[in-house]
């Protein structure tokens, strides 16, 4: 992937802003779904689909595409919005989220929508699926990379650690995982529900290369993904520190926004805030 320059960073910031607006529009239309996680991961998703991944939205099954596997399926509004903005399907279709007959199921389903690499929702199984994918690809000497995006809450799940052990044992250096470290889960703060720290030390003990970044800094996201490619005989985990609800001041850091959508009034307010932010990005760029 080419190095990030100032102009590209502005482009990514603008894209992420567009994607956040789409997320709000989708959620208010759907009347249910998750808000905080999708907004918090908008920058990571934008970095992947608009810079890091080798992929082709017009040829979603391209043989040697990089695979991005979303483990915590409940943040799919951000994946759907990013896929649509990248050109996988019409942006207009985002309004069908969670509605009867839609390709945009409440949690992602592999065969429903182009760009969705696996079915997910039940937490803790994405890292192991990604590990299987990476293992198979390595058996055949494939060069593509497997990326697994997961939440911090699902680090509670035993299956996640079974996968961590597996990928560490088999030195799957074609696998890069990203943890959305936003510190919230449905019932509250992760460190109150089931403490995860020291997360870095845990993954290091499982033979992973660990990186920690600001999940809203495009340079850091891209550099971490780049560094992972160079790591020899270890999978890489990127702990991306993010702000749940990022972009909308009144809901940032508030775990209560984990699993609910905005109502119409809130959505109008949130969209106006995001559009103002978008205007700022554009004016700074000019």
Partner 1 sequence: MPINPKAKLAENILDLKTIEQFPTRKGYGEGLLEAGEKNEKVVALCADLTESTKMDLFAKKFPERFIQMGVAEQNLATVAAGLANYGKIPFISSYAMFSPGRNWEQIRTTICYNNVPVKIAGSHSGVSVGPDGATHQAIEDIALMRAIPNMTVIYPADMHEAKKATIAAVGIDGPVYLRFAREKTPVFTTAETPFEIGRAEAIWDVEDSSSETSGPQLIDVAIVACGPLVHNALLAAAELEKEGIKVRVINNHTIKPMDEKTIIKAARDAGAVVTVEEHQVHGGMGSAVAEVLAKNYPVPMEFIGVQNRFGESGTASELVEHFGMGADSIKKAVLKVIGRKPQAVEKS
What would you report as the CA-atom Rg of the chain, rounded to the nearest whole angstrom? 18
Kindly state whether residue 129 participates in binding partner 1, applying the rule CB under 8 A.
yes
Query: Among residues 14, 96, 159, 223, which is the contact residue for partner 1, using CB under 8 A?
Result: 159
The answer to whether the CB of 135 falls within 8 A of the CB of 177 is: no
Stretch that binds partner 1, among 24-32, 129-137, 265-273, 275-283 (CB under 8 A): 129-137
Kindly state whether residue 79 participates in binding partner 1, applying the rule CB under 8 A.
no
Kindly state whether residue 117 participates in binding partner 1, applying the rule CB under 8 A.
yes
What's the rounded Cα separation, in Å, for the pair 90 and 155? 34
Query: C-beta of 41: minimal distance to partner 1 in Å?
Result: 21
What's the rounded Cα separation, in Å, for the pair 248 and 251? 6
Kindly state whether residue 131 participates in binding partner 1, applying the rule CB under 8 A.
yes
Stretch that binds partner 1, among 53-61, 74-82, 89-97, 105-113 (CB under 8 A): 105-113
The answer to whether the CB of 34 falls within 8 A of the CB of 102 is: no
CA-to-CA dists, residue 132 to 119, 136, 166, 196, 239, angstroms: 14, 6, 9, 25, 21
Query: Among residues 21, 130, 155, 185, which is the contact residue for partner 1, using CB under 8 A?
Result: 130
Query: C-beta of 126: minimal distance to partner 1 in Å?
Result: 8
Query: C-beta of 110: minimal distance to partner 1 in Å?
Result: 5
Query: C-beta of 122: minimal distance to partner 1 in Å?
Result: 5
Kindly state whether residue 165 participates in binding partner 1, applying the rule CB under 8 A.
yes
Percentages helix, strand, coil for the chain (3-state, rounded to 5) are 50, 10, 40
Kindly state whether residue 128 participates in binding partner 1, applying the rule CB under 8 A.
yes
The answer to whether the CB of 76 falls within 8 A of the CB of 70 is: yes
The answer to whether the CB of 80 falls within 8 A of the CB of 25 is: no
Which residues sit at the interface with partner 1, rule CB under 8 A?
A: 69, 109-111, 117-122, 124-125, 128-137, 139, 158-159, 162-163, 165-166, 170
């Amino acid at each position: 992937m080419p190095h990030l320059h100032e102009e590209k960073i502005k482009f990514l910031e603008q894209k992420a802003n567009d994607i956040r607006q789409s997320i709000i529009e989708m959620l208010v239309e759907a009347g249910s779904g998750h808000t905080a996680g999708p907004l918090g991961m908008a920058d990571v998703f934008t970095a992947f689909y608009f810079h890091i991944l080798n992929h082709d939205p017009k040829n979603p099954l391209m043989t040697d595409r990089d695979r991005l596997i979303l483990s915590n399926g409940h943040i799919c509004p951000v994946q759907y919005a990013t896929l649509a903005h990248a050109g996988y399907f019409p942006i207009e279709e985002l309004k069908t989220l969670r509605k009867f007959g839609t390709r945009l199921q409440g949690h992602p389903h592999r065969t429903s929508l182009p760009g969705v690499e696996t079915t997910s929702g039940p937490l803790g199984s994405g890292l192991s699926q990604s590990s299987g994918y990476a293992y198979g690809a390595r058996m055949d000497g494939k060069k593509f990379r497997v990326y697994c995006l997961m939440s911090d809450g699902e680090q509670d799940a035993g299956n996640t650690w079974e996968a961590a052990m597996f990928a560490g044992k088999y030195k799957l250096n074609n696998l890069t995982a990203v943890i959305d470290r936003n510190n919230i889960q449905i019932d509250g703060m992760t460190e109150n529900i089931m403490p995860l720290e020291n997360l870095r030390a845990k993954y290091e003990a499982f033979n992973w290369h660990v990186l920690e970044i600001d999940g809203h800094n495009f340079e850091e996201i891209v550099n971490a993904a780049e560094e992972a490619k160079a790591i020899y005989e270890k999978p890489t985990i990127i702990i991306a520190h993010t702000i749940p609800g990022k972009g909308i001041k009144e809901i940032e850091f508030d775990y209560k926004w984990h699993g609910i959508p905005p109502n119409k009034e809130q959505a109008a307010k949130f969209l106006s805030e995001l559009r103002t932010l978008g205007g700022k990005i554009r004016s700074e760029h000019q």
